[in-house]
Amino acid sequence: MTAWVAYTLAFLASFAFIALKAFQQLNVVHGAYWWVLPTSMLMAVFEVFVVWNMATNGIGWIVLPIGLGSGLGSIFSMWLHAQIVKKG
């Protein structure tokens, strides 16, 4: 796997993992019980991938796409939760 592929996958996985983590936090705050279990299962999949990616690539430039993906995932999750849960 080339470095760019690893970086792209790390970005996407961290985006998804943190988006789900933020979504889960908002589920708890707003009492959206039915969203908790499926969100937790998806979080586990992406968390394992992010940890595996870090273990495989070591610390270095991989931190940049993981950090960017995490921040953007959190922002996206806040918007998505407002669209789905609060209005649904």
Per-residue pLDDT tens digits for 1-48: 788 898 999 999 999 999 999 989 988 998 889 999 999 999 999 999
Phi-psi region of 32 (alpha: psi -120 to 50; beta: other; left: phi over 0): beta
- Structural domain total, the chain: 1
How long a stretch of residues is the chain?
A: 88
Tell me which residue range forms the domain holding 43: 3-84
Structure tokens at 82: 């407002």
85 has a pLDDT exceeding 80: no
Return the H-helix or E-strand segment holding 34.
helix 33-57
Q: What is the pLDDT of residues 58-80, one digit of tens each?
A: 888 889 999 999 999 999 999 98
Specify the pTM: 0.85
